[in-house]
């Protein structure tokens, strides 16, 4: 934690404090006395601070990289150990992904959006593709197998994201065993992702019209084995954390935000459900056939960090239920829409060049006709055209409502794509959770929100 302060406090205190330093005499400004830090001992800084009438100190918690969530800066005004005002400083991880989408074709866009919130790449890809498919008018043409696999991968991704929340939250609280267990179980999911998509994260596997390719041999068996192991391992989290007096003492009544506050700030996801409202887009506004799956929406009414922790553990159990249903209903079939004017090749296999250029597939294209070869070349290099218009698609991500507003001017590239990222909206609640509480509880409150700055600063 850094304890440096801007030259003048935004609230007129004007004090500075930068670690073990001594200060010169104060310099009066229109906003109060300003101290110049020159090095020395904390005692001298404290002595100088005591000569002022205003005892509030502004502390910069960051910019830093807490856990795997990205670079976040918290500006706290404290009175002793009590936080009197809290603000979030964002923008340190800005990638310009939304702007970059305007310079790539519609299919290439998945390569960008998967990198926004890097803990839920498959959700980013799916919501973007749902928006594009809505503009194309092909929502009803997506093969059943592709839709089922999308659900399967999203629920696996939901578990892996919640495991990072559990692991990093435990690490921030000093519960290193919970941290080790969380990342241990997440590795099993990343191994499955690598088998299916070729990558542990940033997959670009979901594409407009379907998927990049079908499941490889052995994938279904590996997923079933994971479900068995994960059911057993979830019991360990109950013993280590849920029933632990130390965990309860650290999380209960910390980061309080009731339902009224959630509704006023646009908070969604586990934070909202921990306030007692069973709002889940998989139930309230189904997509990808979620209305055909049997699962529950867990809620509690504690409105605190402990409730959010319990909610996410129960959501992992519900995701395991959905994954099993996906495996049971998987039927052989295509994984890409039949319209060849839209469908990128989804029959690729690893070729001698190591780039996935299957010789059999290349022979099929070249052996069909010259027109087929030309069309394939134009589809990959130029891309397909999307009718002019705009569409909004929303899904239930691990952090809440993830929406994509997709706008087309009739070209081969997006005119504009804007995302409603849940981390961005949920981070607004940080001030309401932290003000009036202790400095030590700020870490717990922010961890319970589970913000990922890659989504905030996209």
Domain ranges of the chain: 97-338+384-456
- Judged by DSSP in three states, 123 sits in helix
pLDDT at 435: 85
pLDDT at 106: 92
How far is the C-alpha of 419 from the C-alpha of 405, rounded, in Å? 6
pLDDT at 252: 87
pLDDT at 357: 59
pLDDT at 17: 40
Ramachandran angles phi, psi of 294, nearest 5°:
-100, 110
Residues 177 and 240 sit within 8 Å (Cβ to Cβ): yes
Tell me the β-bridge partners of 405.
392, 418
Other CB atoms within 10 A of residue 405 CB: 15
How far is the C-alpha of 254 from the C-alpha of 266, rounded, in Å? 20
Tens of each residue's pLDDT in the chain, 458 residues: 434 444 333 344 434 344 444 445 667 777 677 666 555 566 665 666 566 556 678 888 877 665 457 788 888 888 888 888 888 888 888 888 999 999 999 998 999 999 998 899 999 999 999 999 999 999 999 999 999 999 999 999 999 999 999 988 888 777 788 889 999 999 999 999 999 988 888 998 999 999 988 898 899 999 999 999 999 999 988 888 887 788 888 888 888 999 999 999 999 999 999 999 999 999 999 999 999 999 999 999 998 999 999 999 999 999 999 999 999 999 998 898 988 888 876 665 555 555 555 667 667 777 777 777 787 788 888 888 999 999 999 999 999 999 999 999 999 999 999 999 999 999 989 889 988 888 888 888 888 888 888 888 88
How far is the C-alpha of 119 from the C-alpha of 121, rounded, in Å? 6
Domain 97-338+384-456: CATH architecture, name and number where available: Orthogonal Bundle (1.10)
- Judged by DSSP in three states, 196 sits in helix
- Judged by DSSP in three states, 86 sits in strand
H or E element in which residue 335 lies: none
Give residues with Cβ within 8 angstroms of 290, minimum separation 6.
Answer: 151, 282, 283
pLDDT at 121: 93
Place of tokens 């941290």: 179
Residues 399 and 381 sit within 8 Å (Cβ to Cβ): no
């Amino acid at each position: 934690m850094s304890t440096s302060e801007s030259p003048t406090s935004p609230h007129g205190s004007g004090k500075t404090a930068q670690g073990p330093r001594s200060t010169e005499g104060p310099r009066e400004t229109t906003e109060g006395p300003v101290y110049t830090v020159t090095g020395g001992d904390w005692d001298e800084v404290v002595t100088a601070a005591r000569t002022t009438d205003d005892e509030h100190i502004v502390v910069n918690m960051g910019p830093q990289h807490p856990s795997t969530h990205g670079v976040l800066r918290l500006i706290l005004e404290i009175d002793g150990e009590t936080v009197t005002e809290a603000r979030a400083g964002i923008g340190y991880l800005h990638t310009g992904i939304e702007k970059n989408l305007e310079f790539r074709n519609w299919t290439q866009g998945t390569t960008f959006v998967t990198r926004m919130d890097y803990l839920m790449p498959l959700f980013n890809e799916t919501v973007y593709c749902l928006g594009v498919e809505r503009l194309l008018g092909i929502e009803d043409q997506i093969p059943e197998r592709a839709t089922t696999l999308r659900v399967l991968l999203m629920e696996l991704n939901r578990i892996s994201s919640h495991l990072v929340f559990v692991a990093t939250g435990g690490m921030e609280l000093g519960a290193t065993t919970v941290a080790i267990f969380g990342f241990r179980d997440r590795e099993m999911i990343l191994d499955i992702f690598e088998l299916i998509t070729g990558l542990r994260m940033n997959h670009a596997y979901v594409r407009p019209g379907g998927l990049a390719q079908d499941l490889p041999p052995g994938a279904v068996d590996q997923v079933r084995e994971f479900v068995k192991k994960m059911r057993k391992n979830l019991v360990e989290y109950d013993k280590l954390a849920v029933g632990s007096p130390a965990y309860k003492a650290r999380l209960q009544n910390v980061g309080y935000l009731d339902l009224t506050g959630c509704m006023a700030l646009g908070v969604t996801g586990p934070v909202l459900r921990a306030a007692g409202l069973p709002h889940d887009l998989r139930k309230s506004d189904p997509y990808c056939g979620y209305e055909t799956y049997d699962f529950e929406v867990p809620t509690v009414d504690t409105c605190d960090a402990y409730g959010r922790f319990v909610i996410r553990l129960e959501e992992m159990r519900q995701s395991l239920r959905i994954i099993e249903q996906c495996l049971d209903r998987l039927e052989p079939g295509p994984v890409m829409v039949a319209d060849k004017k839209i469908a990128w090749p989804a029959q690729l296999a690893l070729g001698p060049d190591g780039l996935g250029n299957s010789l059999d597939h290349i022979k099929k294209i070249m052996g069909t006709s010259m027109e087929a070869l030309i069309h394939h070349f134009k589809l990959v290099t130029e891309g397909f055209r999307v009718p002019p218009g705009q569409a909004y698609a929303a899904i239930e991500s691990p952090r809440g409502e993830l929406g994509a507003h997709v706008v087309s001017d009739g070209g081969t590239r997006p005119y504009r794509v804007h995302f409603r990222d849940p981390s961005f909206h949920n981070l607004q609640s940080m001030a309401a959770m932290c003000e009036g509480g202790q400095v030590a509880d700020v870490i717990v409150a922010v961890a319970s929100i589970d913000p990922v700055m890659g989504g905030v600063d996209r």
